[in-house]
């Protein structure tokens, strides 16, 4: 558990001890005051207990790289875009988490850049284990909070929650009952997210050239990869369609939504041109059965191969959310949302780290 969990445990024991002593020794004489104090104490105990059980924040996955690493949170403003979720004409603003190697042995312009996009209802911290692992092996990793798509983020010191209209779109979207609506949603979501990722890549390329004495100088702009979970992986694949400088894409259980170019009856029409870059798909028990049965996963079936620049891996016993650090921060919620899982969450995260590192090493570094 993390440090704050131990603090909560200490508070829990103190409150429980106070309640027991208060009842046994009748410390509070007035009946109405005793009822209020006991009720507040019991509610506090229940709240803390639920917090500890639901969010144990289990220990981090150990990194295997030789380098120490550091992290920071950045905020960037894209002045070329108007924020579509606001009506005041303000520009699009993003928060992002950056992990990078912090070691004197690392030379400038030698680190590949990986840009990560979180799932449909998630945050930039969704896959911390992966960011840290890659950074320990000499990668600069940038994970974006897609403002209003992120469960919550903070811009200019103000907390911004997920947009309720976007959440409703996610919940109501069903490509089997209303394929036209699904197509419209996919186009909208992919546009916002790929624009975010492109803006971040372009900004980091520019800063790697113009800024000195910062982690930007570490980046080798000829070695760029994208990655993401679920909807974020779909966007990462989309950016690879748009750019020639993206050399590798990691998609954690993601349909190829950007490749959908239209609707034909009850089926989607697809861009089936080969990808210019390397692609690795990783699946769990949640998504793998959808390949071949769900009309959103037709392209996934086409890429269910391990040859050329295409790779895939199926982690049996896992679920959609054990592909993220939710399995570490809240195993119970992970099971509730994903329908249970058999494979240890730690084993799944370690396997993802290993497969991802091997993939990026092969296609970005050549080792």
Q: Quick one: pLDDT at residue 15?
A: 65
Q: Which phi and psi angles does 279 have, rounded to 5°?
A: -135, 130
Dihedral of CA 327/329/331/332: which sign? Answer: negative
What is the C-alpha to C-alpha distance for residues 306 and 310, in angstroms, rounded to an integer? 6
* pTM for the predicted model, two decimal places: 0.88
Task: Report pLDDT digits (tens) over 8-29.
Answer: 567 666 767 766 777 677 667 6
Supply the pLDDT for residue 56: 67
Strands 140-145 and 152-155: unpaired
Q: What is the pLDDT of residue 340?
A: 85
Cβ atoms of residues 157 and 104 within 8 Å: no
Look up the CATH superfamily of 69-365. Answer: Alpha/Beta hydrolase fold, catalytic domain (3.40.50.1820)
Asked whether the predicted pLDDT for residue 2 surpasses 70, the reply is no
Q: Are 208 and 223 in contact (CB under 8 A)?
A: no
pLDDT tens digits for range 294-324: 999 999 999 999 999 999 999 999 999 999 9
Contact by Cβ (8 Å): 233, 253: yes
Residue 40 has pLDDT above 90, yes or no: no
Cα–Cα distances (Å) from 346 to 5, 61, 131, 342, 352, in that order, read 19, 7, 15, 12, 10
The reported pLDDT for the residue numbered 7 is 72
Question: Token pair of 323, please?
Answer: 């592909």
> Which of the 8 DSSP states describes residue 319?
-
First to last CA, the chain: 36
- Taking the C-alpha atoms of residue 367 and residue 362, their distance in angstroms, rounded to an integer, is 5
Instruction: State the pLDDT at residue 309.
Output: 94
Q: What pLDDT band is residue 51 in, cutting at 50, 70 and 90? A: low
Residue 144 token pair = 């974006």
**Residue 27 to residues 12, 24, 338: CA-CA distances in angstroms?**
19, 8, 47
């Amino acid at each position: 558990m993390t440090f704050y969990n131990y603090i909560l445990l200490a508070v829990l024991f103190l409150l429980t001890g106070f309640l027991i002593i208060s009842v046994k020794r009748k410390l509070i004489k007035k009946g109405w005051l005793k009822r209020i104090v006991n009720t507040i104490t019991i509610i506090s105990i229940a709240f803390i207990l639920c917090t500890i059980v639901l969010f144990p924040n289990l220990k981090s996955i150990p990194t295997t790289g030789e380098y120490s690493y550091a992290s920071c949170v950045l905020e960037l403003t894209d002045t070329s875009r108007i924020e579509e979720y606001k009506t005041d004409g303000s520009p699009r603003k993003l928060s992002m988490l950056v992990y990078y190697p912090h070691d004197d042995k690392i030379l400038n312009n030698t680190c590949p850049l990986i840009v990560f996009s979180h799932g449909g209802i998630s945050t930039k911290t969704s896959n911390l284990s992966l960011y840290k692992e890659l950074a320990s092996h000499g990668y600069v990793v940038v994970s974006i909070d897609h403002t209003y798509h992120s469960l919550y983020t903070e811009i200019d010191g103000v907390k911004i929650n997920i947009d309720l209209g976007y959440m409703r779109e996610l919940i109501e979207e069903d490509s089997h009952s209303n394929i036209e609506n699904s197509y419209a949603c996919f186009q909208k979501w992919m546009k916002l997210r790929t624009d975010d990722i492109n803006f971040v890549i372009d900004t980091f390329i520019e800063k790697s050239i113009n800024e000195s004495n910062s982690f930007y100088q570490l980046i080798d702009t000829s070695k760029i990869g994208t990655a993401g979970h679920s909807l974020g992986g779909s966007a990462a694949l989309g950016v690879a369609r748009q750019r020639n400088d993206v050399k590798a894409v990691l998609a954690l259980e993601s349909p190829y939504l950007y490749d959908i170019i239209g609707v034909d009856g009850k089926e989607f029409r697809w861009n089936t041109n080969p990808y210019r870059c390397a692609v690795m798909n990783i699946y769990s028990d949640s998504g793998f059965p959808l390949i071949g049965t769900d009309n959103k996963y037709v392209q996934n079936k086409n890429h269910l191969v391990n040859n050329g620049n295409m790779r895939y891996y199926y982690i049996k016993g896992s679920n959609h959310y054990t592909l993220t650090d939710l399995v570490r921060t809240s195993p119970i919620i992970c099971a509730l949302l994903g329908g249970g899982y058999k494979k240890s969450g730690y084993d799944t995260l370690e396997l993802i780290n290993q497969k991802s590192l091997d993939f990026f090493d092969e296609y970005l570094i050549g080792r």
